[in-house]
Amino acid sequence: MIKCIIVDDEPNAVALLEKYIARFDELALVGSCYDGVEALSLLRNHTIDVVFLDINMPEINGMELVKMLSPKQRVVFTTAYSEYAVESYEYKALDYLLKPITFVRFTAAVQKILETAQESISPKSKPNWLLIKSGTELLRLNPKDIRWIKGEREYVSIHVDGKKHLMYKRMKELVSELPNTFVRVHHSYIINIEKIEKIIDHKVFIEGEAIPISQTYRSEFMKMINKD
């Protein structure tokens, strides 16, 4: 269980984050604070893993508070101001959420939190599941069931058993998190080589879907195929 707190002086923002956090069994909300002083008191008396932190607050602002946190405590900034984004990453923030925060965007931040928690337990291991939002549902998806993944602007579509699920993730980030049975064959496609039915010319077929193999990725793809 990942213990977290909210630090934000806006009651509506706090209420929204409380609602979002409650939808994840992996997250345990220890408390909500409306200023930095209150947060410091809570942090002294509880073990906290993640701080959802606003920046513009009275007395002690978010940038001041983050300097007082333990190196083991991770931060997700939540703010209405984009100009602090570059500075936030100097503090190794896990994510930077701009208000109004949508549930899809919050889910992407939680994915990063869970991946970081997994790495702290076993740095060399990769997650054996993906957390994705499909409609109003949150799904745990086993990578072994994935046929292929297609990049669609800021999202990727994950194809499983004839269904398509959208995930807020960049292709480059996603391919590094998947098992070694996955390979990128095109700027817009990642495939599971265990699901390949046939290869014809510059196309690979999975469940009847013809997926292009670009020249950029063909060499690496063929190395994997020949090795296996």
pLDDT mean by block of 10 residues, the chain; 228 residues: 94 96 92 93 92 91 88 90 66 87 92 77 53 68 90 84 80 79 92 93 92 91 78
Q: What is the pLDDT of residue 133?
A: 65
Question: Residue 58's pLDDT is what?
Answer: 85
The count of other CB atoms within 10 Å of the CB of residue 7 is 29
- pTM across the whole model: 0.57
User: Within the chain, where are the H helices?
Assistant: 11-21, 36-45, 62-66, 85-88, 103-121, 171-177, 215-227
Residue 125 confidence (pLDDT): 46
100 preceded by cis ω (within 30°)? yes
Provide the pLDDT for residue 25: 85
* CA dist., res. 135 & res. 46, Å (int): 35
Q: Give the chain's domains with CATH numbers.
A: 2-121 (3.40.50.2300), 141-227 (2.40.50.1020)
Is the CB of residue 213 less than 8 Å from the CB of residue 221? yes
